[in-house]
C-alpha cells in the first residue's frame, strides 16, 4: 500500500484562483454595463485579498465564524453595491451553464477528484460541485474555487442547508483540512452475529485528537448519513465474501482467514476510512465471523 493511497480523497487545493473565476464568470454576462459594474465592484486586488482571507480561514477551520447573511434576510447589499442575488446569480447563471465561458473552470474543478466523491470516501461518483459554505449565506464565495467541492449526488442532497455556526459541527473540507482527517482511521465497524451478519459503522477517532477534532468527524459522519450508507454497501457486498469463505477458502483456519481478511483490507487502494476497508478490518477482528461459516 503506497502513501498515495492513504492520502487519497484529500484533494489538492485548486490551481484556479478567484480572479480567474470572476473574470471568466463575468465574461459570460451579456450586458456590457452590468459586466463593467461587476468588475468595478470586485477588482482584482480586491479578489486577491478576499481569497487570501478565505484560505486562511479555511486552513484554520474557522469558516464557521465568518459573518454570514442570515437565511430569510432578503437581498442585502454584500460587497460594494453588489447584492446577494448578484453574487449567487454569478454562479447559477454565469458559472454553471454549459454555454458559458466559465463552464470550463467548473469542469476543471470537477475532475480533480478523479471521479470519486471525497465526502463519502468513494461510494459515489462525482456529479456536481458543492459549496462548502452555502452561497445563500456566504454569497461573496459563490464562485470561489476553494469553496467548490466535487461531490456525488447523495452527498449533495444529504447535506444540511445551514452551515454550522460552531467548530464542533463543521464538516471536513477536502482541500484545506488537516491531512490527519484523511490519513488516519476514524471510521470503525462492528460485526453483529447472525445469518446474515450485519456490519454496523460508527465513529472512533484516535484518542489523542482534540475534542473538537473528534466532534468534527462525528458531525461529518452524521451530516452525510454515512452509518446508513456504509451499512447498505456492506450488506450488499458481504454475501460474496461469505460465499468465498464457504468455497475457495473452506480449508482456512479461523486465524488464517483472519490474516487473509486483514491483508485484504490493508492492500486495498482505497481511502483509509473507506467502508470496504473498514468492513474487512472489522471482519478480521471478529472471532465469531472468522470461525463462520464452516
Ligand atoms: Zn459522496
Measure the CA–CA gap between 286 and 292, rounded to whole angstroms: 10
Helices (H), the chain: 3-7, 18-27, 32-41, 44-59, 84-92, 103-111, 153-158, 180-183, 211-223, 226-246, 254-267, 275-284, 287-290
| pLDDT over threshold 50, residue 112 | yes
Domain residue ranges of the chain, discontinuous segments joined by +: 3-169, 184-290
* Cα of 281 from ligand 1 centre, angstroms: 22
* Cα of 228 from ligand 1 centre, angstroms: 13
The predicted structure's pLDDT at residue 95 = 98
* Cα of 107 from ligand 1 centre, angstroms: 17
* Cα of 55 from ligand 1 centre, angstroms: 23
| pLDDT over threshold 70, residue 2 | no
Q: Say how many CA atoms lie within 13 Å of 111 toward its Cβ.
A: 7
* Cα of 226 from ligand 1 centre, angstroms: 9
* Cα of 10 from ligand 1 centre, angstroms: 13
Distance of alpha carbon 245 from the chain centroid: 34
Q: Are 172 and 216 within 8 A, CB to CB? A: yes
Cis peptide before 293 (omega within 30 of 0): yes
| pLDDT over threshold 60, residue 3 | no
Region 54-68: what's the mean pLDDT? 96
- Each residue's pLDDT tens digit, 79-91: 999 999 999 999 9
Average pLDDT, the chain: 93
* Cα of 106 from ligand 1 centre, angstroms: 18
Region 268-280: what's the mean pLDDT? 93
- Each residue's pLDDT tens digit, 237-273: 999 999 999 999 999 999 999 999 999 999 988 889 9
In 3D space, the residue among 116, 145, 135, 126 whose CA is nearest the CA of residue 58 turns out to be: 145
Reported as a pLDDT band with limits 50, 70 and 90, residue 161 is confident
- Each residue's pLDDT tens digit, 164-173: 999 999 999 9
| pLDDT over threshold 70, residue 5 | no
Instruction: Express as a percent the part of the chain with pLDDT over 70.
Output: 97
* Cα of 294 from ligand 1 centre, angstroms: 37
| pLDDT over threshold 80, residue 294 | no
* Cα of 29 from ligand 1 centre, angstroms: 32
* Cα of 206 from ligand 1 centre, angstroms: 23
Q: Are 283 and 289 within 8 A, CB to CB? A: yes
In 3D space, the residue among 288, 259, 89, 80 whose CA is nearest the CA of residue 199 turns out to be: 288
Neighbour-count burial of 225, counting CB atoms closer than 10 A to its CB (0-12 exposed, 13-18 middle, 19+ buried):
middle
* Cα of 224 from ligand 1 centre, angstroms: 8
Region 113-132: what's the mean pLDDT? 92
Measure the CA–CA gap between 105 and 237, rounded to whole angstroms: 37
Q: Are 46 and 80 within 8 A, CB to CB? A: no
The predicted structure's pLDDT at residue 140 = 97
Q: Are 94 and 100 within 8 A, CB to CB? A: yes
* Cα of 275 from ligand 1 centre, angstroms: 12
* Cα of 120 from ligand 1 centre, angstroms: 4
* Cα of 225 from ligand 1 centre, angstroms: 10
Report residue 165 as a C-alpha cell.
Answer: 455556526
Measure the CA–CA gap between 24 and 204, rounded to whole angstroms: 44
* Cα of 270 from ligand 1 centre, angstroms: 14
CA distances from 222 to 43, 160, 169, 193, 279 (A): 40, 10, 10, 25, 18
* Cα of 201 from ligand 1 centre, angstroms: 16
Region 34-63: what's the mean pLDDT? 95
Amino acid at each position: 500500500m503506497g502513501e498515495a493511497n492513504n492520502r487519497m480523497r484529500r484533494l489538492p487545493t485548486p490551481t484556479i484562483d478567484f480572479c480567474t473565476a470572476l473574470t471568466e464568470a463575468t465574461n459570460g454576462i451579456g450586458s456590457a454595463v452590468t459586466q463593467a459594474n461587476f468588475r468595478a465592484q470586485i477588482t482584482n486586488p480586491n479578489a486577491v485579498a478576499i481569497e487570501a482571507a478565505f484560505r486562511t480561514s479555511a486552513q484554520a477551520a474557522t469558516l464557521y465564524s465568518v459573518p454570514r447573511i442570515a437565511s430569510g434576510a432578503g437581498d442585502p447589499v454584500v460587497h460594494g453595491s453588489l447584492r446577494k442575488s448578484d453574487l449567487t446569480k454569478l454562479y447559477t447563471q454565469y458559472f454553471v451553464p454549459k454555454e458559458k465561458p466559465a463552464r470550463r473552470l467548473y469542469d476543471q474543478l470537477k475532475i480533480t477528484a478523479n471521479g470519486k466523491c471525497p465526502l463519502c470516501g468513494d461510494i459515489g461518483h462525482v456529479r456536481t460541485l458543492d459549496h462548502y459554505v452555502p452561497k445563500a449565506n456566504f454569497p461573496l464565495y459563490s464562485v470561489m474555487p476553494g469553496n467548490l467541492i466535487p461531490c456525488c449526488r447523495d452527498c449533495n442532497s444529504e447535506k444540511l442547508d445551514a452551515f454550522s455556526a460552531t467548530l464542533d459541527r463543521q464538516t471536513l473540507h477536502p482541500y484545506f483540512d488537516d491531512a490527519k482527517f484523511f490519513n488516519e482511521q476514524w471510521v470503525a465497524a462492528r460485526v453483529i452475529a447472525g445469518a446474515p451478519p450485519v456490519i454496523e459503522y460508527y465513529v472512533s477517532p484516535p484518542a489523542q485528537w482534540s475534542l473538537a477534532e473528534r466532534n468534527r468527524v462525528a458531525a461529518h459522519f452524521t451530516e452525510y448519513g454515512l452509518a446508513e450508507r456504509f451499512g447498505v454497501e456492506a450488506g450488499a457486498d458481504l454475501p460474496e465474501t461469505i460465499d468465498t469463505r464457504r468455497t475457495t477458502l473452506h480449508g482456512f483456519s479461523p486465524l488464517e482467514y483472519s490474516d487473509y481478511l486483514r491483508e485484504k483490507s490493508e492492500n486495498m487502494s482505497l481511502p483509509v476510512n473507506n467502508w470496504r476497508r473498514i468492513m474487512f478490518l472489522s471482519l478480521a477482528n471478529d472471532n465469531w465471523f472468522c470461525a463462520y461459516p464452516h
